[in-house]
A and B are shown apart, each in its own frame.
Chain A
């Protein structure tokens, strides 16, 4: 039954990691615009502009 405590410990590590990931995501603005990404994913990588 000792393994329960180990598993809880491992679960915590993953959980805290996910929480930090979430913090990073919010702070770096990943959730700021829920509208544009669905269009942006359809954008092609563009052809380079001709060199002048």
Chain B
């Protein structure tokens, strides 16, 4: 952040975490001859540490850091003891770090830890948020390393805790190794195969032919039996369990091509080891891409679960609070939450009141007032006051962990591509086997030589192999996603183009999707009690933490007046003295509480504002109403255009929001949406989407908050915008990165195009099988011709898919 940045008066930005804090509550310290402000002792400590190590470059280089206070949690080295592995003199540990926000964090952690005496190496994986640290146990102990990590604001957790939702690094490495090997040998193999093809048509010296055939055999062997090992095992297991899956077809096709080719070397026929190797390579590529997206999904769940603090201040019998892990807290016990902290567990407020930011659960930006008796939820953060909470359930039963589980379940359920492929295999495999057997029988009956009968049967198996079929869909998807990616649309996973093209209903979230997600001032009714009305309001609200207050403060660009005796009345508004006069700004209830009469004219105007879907702020000066301010979370500029284009393509539009009915209706009417569901909880939205689906609709859900995450995963297609919270971004299939709603229309056009290309590809691949299989059955097709046909059909599929690039 540059030094010239203008902040609301009375606030400063913490030098370390960039969080805005009220100037009077900020800590200041003179470092390097310059006065610097900090939000808390933790941040000050980190800044001093970073500065003392001459790592100040961290602050100048971080460009993608989002303001936010780091967590300073106590850690227990005992949790990590069983994670340490020893290699010769060094010890090694793999920990998950929370608090990694940007690439510079990786740099900072590596520098600070790497410089500790006795640390051999420290490597942080930015993609998985994992750190691998190696050290000499004689010089430095694990305790020190862990303390250093948490000392700079990154909390280490044992690697095993996150393991359940991630596939292990080892599994991914193994897959890469197999795919790399398969690709490498297949490429070499193609060189020799091309020579053999040429030889078939032009003639070739026999010894070269034999040599090239033997080389091809040598090259194909590792592809099938090392790279293809998982398929072979899985096929064997399936056959043992008397089931047929896609792996059976892959194994059968590649092995029969392989075995047939070996036989041909000795009988002097043509070989096609390349078909055997290609099948394995392409299928492995598909698996590799899939593993990558699974890893991403796992990380998203870890990020979501991280919102729940690991510790809570437990109130003992003596009235003193002690920090304990949340797992140890039982239902019915009392915990304390201080301002700025996240609530660790669900419960009910028993003492104190505070404005609580529930935006991560509800997506609505306005904080909610919590007073004794109100329920509070884990992961939400208290903005203004101390709360004493009676815990209502253990760590696993919180609303947050229920959302995590919902997302997890929905993701697990969502693997239709594989299911369809396996079901198809269930029909296709026996059909192919029957056909091959029938071919063999037919030729035997026709009194052909047994060798010919076997050859023809194997030809059928080889030709039926799903090579072009396997290539048809993923390739089109790869090209298609790259093309939309250039426009700023991130499409994750393959089945999305299909579900988008089949979409019948688009469900839109209100806050942050149709609207900007930030209130702005629309009306300012000045009753003429004070001149410079807005200046007074803005000066007063400059101290407010509430988004409405911030919006009012932001609307005045001029000089601010001094405010004395500023006070926040949670859930109602603010008050203070300006120039000796008492000013209040807030809800009607605030004025009522202060005994300030509201004249009928102002009430009428307020009613009118509310009817227009606006939030009204009453402002009073010295016991009289001074004016009204109306704010609205306005529609995005491009929302109407987007809705018109979606409607033009015949889609049913719906709006779902957690907001109240009145505001929802108003926004819906303004953008011409007739179907509205208001007041929905996160799970409620998901249920509503599920209901739409059970009514036979194919649903696209567009949303941006964590509250939308369950609905986004439940919908056939989940879509988020660039401003969305991380979890929404990860749980959706599509993300529009540059925040332009009009791209939804582009996406529909593109998906239809991609899907039709996929269908063309599939039609071509099937068509090839339809023509080639009968020819193979009849024994007309020479194997080398069928191998060439196979290659050219793949080329057609490639060329057709590349057309998507130009769209």
Taking Cβ atoms with an 8 Å cutoff, the residues of A that contact B are 1, 4-5, 8, 15, 18-19, 22-23, 26-27, 29, 31-36, 39-40, 42-44, 46-50
Contacts and interface: CB of A to CB of B under 8 A. Distances in A.
Contacts of B107: 39-40, 43
B169 A32 contact: yes
Contacts of A46: 54-55, 57, 111
Contacts of B127: 33-36
A31 B54 contact: no
A42 B181 CA distance: 32
B789 interface: no
Interface of B: 52-55, 57, 61, 103-104, 106-107, 111, 115, 124-128, 169, 173, 176-177, 180-181, 184-185, 188, 205, 208, 211, 215
A8 B188 CA distance: 11
5 contacts: A1-B205, A4-B208, A36-B126, A39-B103, A47-B54
Given A44-B57, A49-B53, 16 more contacts: A1-B205, A5-B211, A8-B215, A19-B184, A19-B185, A22-B180, A26-B180, A27-B173, A33-B127, A35-B125, A35-B126, A36-B103, A39-B126, A46-B55, A46-B111, A50-B52
Nearest to A34: B127
A49 B54 contact: yes
A4 to B, nearest CB: 7
Contacts of A29: 173
A8 B177 CA distance: 25
Contacts, number: 65
8 interchain residue pairs of minimum CB distance: A39-B103, A36-B126, A35-B127, A33-B125, A35-B126, A49-B53, A26-B177, A47-B54
B106 A36 contact: yes
A32 B188 CA distance: 26
Nearest to A52: B52
Given A4-B208, A39-B107, A31 B173 contact: yes
Contacts of A27: 173, 177
A44 to B, nearest CB: 7
A31 B175 CA distance: 12
Nearest to B173: A26
A23 B185 CA distance: 13
Nearest to B178: A26
Contacts of B188: 15
A40 to B, nearest CB: 7
Contact of A18 (B54, B103, B128, B184): B184
Contacts of A40: 106-107
A15 B191 CA distance: 13
A36 B103 CA distance: 7
Contacts of A32: 125, 169, 173
B128 A22 contact: no
Contacts of B176: 26, 31
A15 B188 CA distance: 8
A18 B106 CA distance: 31
Contacts of A43: 107
Given A8-B215, A33-B126, A46-B111, A23 B103 contact: no
A27 B181 CA distance: 13
B59 to A, nearest CB: 14
Nearest to B127: A35
Q: Which of B57, B61, B126, B173 gathers the greatest number of chain A CB atoms within 10 Å?
A: B126
B456 to A, nearest CB: 33
B194 to A, nearest CB: 14
Nearest to A8: B215
A36 B53 contact: no
Nearest to A46: B111
Contacts of B185: 19
